[in-house]
Structure 1
Amino acid sequence: MMLLRLILLLTSLGLLSCSVKQESYLDNTPKLDFADYFNGKLCAWGVVRERSGELSRKFVADINAYSLAESIVLDEVFLFDDGERQTRQWKFKLSGGQWIGTAGDVVDTAIGEVVGDSLHLNYQLEVKVDGDSWVINMDDWLHLIDRRTLMGTTNMSKWGFNVGRIDILMRKQPGGSARCINEPH
């Protein structure tokens, strides 16, 4: 039991010492307006990397973002290069300066904060791995490059250990009618 406590303490100290300071993004421009950016049609492209950094999968996604009552809804459809298709519906609400999000495979809630040009989002995602269900900690950083483009990285961990990373590029689509996923015929 003492060894477990020591490991947890060292892991938490290590995580705290290498965390990014949100204040460093405060003056960055262009400023990210969450409700404005996540309104309309978005395309996303990305890669999933193993903990070693080796490329594991590629994906493209269609995202339909809209306001509903007091929420921002993101309807996402992902198509991976191995043919797997995933869907997720996020619902975000602004509360006390933070964006609180829920989705079917998100444990409890996601907590997001916009700082300057960036969105920092933390949550736990339930992921299927070889027939088992794992809860993975997701630490997202999305940065607004221009008014239409977001780039980001999600660091994934379990028990404080790195298990992989996702790199993503999102782009707002003018007119809102373009499809991002090209279905095979």
Structure 2
Amino acid sequence: MSMFLTFLAGSVLVLALFAIGQRVIGFQAQKPEDYAKLTPHMDIQQHLSGPIRCEGVIYGPMGRVTSRFTADMEGRWDGNRGVLAEHFSYDSGTKQDREWRLTLGNGGRVTAEADDLVGKGSGQQEGGALCLSYTIRLPESAGGHALQVTDWMYLIDDKTIVNRSQFRKFGIKVAELVATMRKVDA
């Protein structure tokens, strides 16, 4: 019995160290202030405005591509409030629409709402990056699960943003999204 308890204690320790390590290195360790000096500087009222074309992939928990998508987006702003309408087309033939309602606060703070969010999302725009965290409820056709999401958007140039998102359930990564968002010349 003591050998089993020793094994169990060792396994718990390894899992705890892995979880702590993920918060110290890697995707989850990023902070908005890490990108304060990154140029060009992102201004979401400018860079998430007008027509935007998006292409991306979603990776499953084993790191393999599970879905590919394109999206047509349109951003509109009135003062510190904006709407980003998204129209997704997935390689499965599924279509999905989402409308983000964004509010800019002081010091680069961002609040986000959408019909499929649980509560509100919050984020920070700093230098050439934007971090947004929220809980999203998947459609019933995808299981209806509530997942914690962290979006990182990095401004590449005046027309291009790279978006990397991780989706977690009980702290375990279950999916990742990588996409490019490019402003469309009107």
TM-score normalised by L of structure 1: 0.84
> 1:148-176: per-residue Cα shift (whole Å, max 9, x none)?
0000210111000010100010000111x
In terms of fraction of residues, the more helix-rich structure is 2
Aligned length: 170
Runs (4+) of structure 1 exceeding 4 A deviation are none
Let me know the Cα RMSD of the aligned residues: 2.1
Q: How does 1:14-25 map to 2 (within 5 A)?
A: 14-18=21-25, 19-25=29-35
d(CA) in 1 for partners of 2:182 and 2:96? 19
Larger radius of gyration: 2
Deviates more, 1:128-137 or 1:67-76: 128-137
CA change 1:77–1:71 in 2 (3 A) is same
d(CA) in 1 for partners of 2:88 and 2:43? 24
Instruction: Give 1:20 shift.
Output: 1.2
d(CA) in 1 for partners of 2:112 and 2:172? 24
In terms of fraction of residues, the more strand-rich structure is 1
* 3-state SS, counterpart of residue 108 of structure 1: coil
Please list every run of 5 or more consecutive structure 1 residues that lacks an aligned counterpart in the other structure: 1-5, 176-185
Please list every run of 5 or more consecutive structure 2 residues that lacks an aligned counterpart in the other structure: 1-11
Instruction: Give 1:12 shift.
Output: 6.5
CA change 1:131–1:22 in 2 (3 A) is closer
Greater relative CO, 1 or 2 (CA 8 Å, sep 6+): 1
Per the alignment, residue 111 of structure 1 pairs with 122
> 1:63-113: per-residue Cα shift (whole Å, max 9, x none)?
010014641100110000110000000010112331101000011111121
d(CA) in 2 for partners of 1:87 and 1:124? 17
Instruction: Give 1:15 shift.
Output: 4.7
Q: How does 1:3-152 map to 2 (within 5 A)?
A: 10=16, 13-18=20-25, 19-68=29-78, 70-97=80-107, 98-128=109-139, 132-152=143-163
* 3-state SS, counterpart of residue 87 of structure 2: strand
* 3-state SS, counterpart of residue 118 of structure 2: strand
TM-score normalised by L of structure 2: 0.84
> 1:9-57: per-residue Cα shift (whole Å, max 9, x none)?
9487455323113322111110001111111000000001001110001
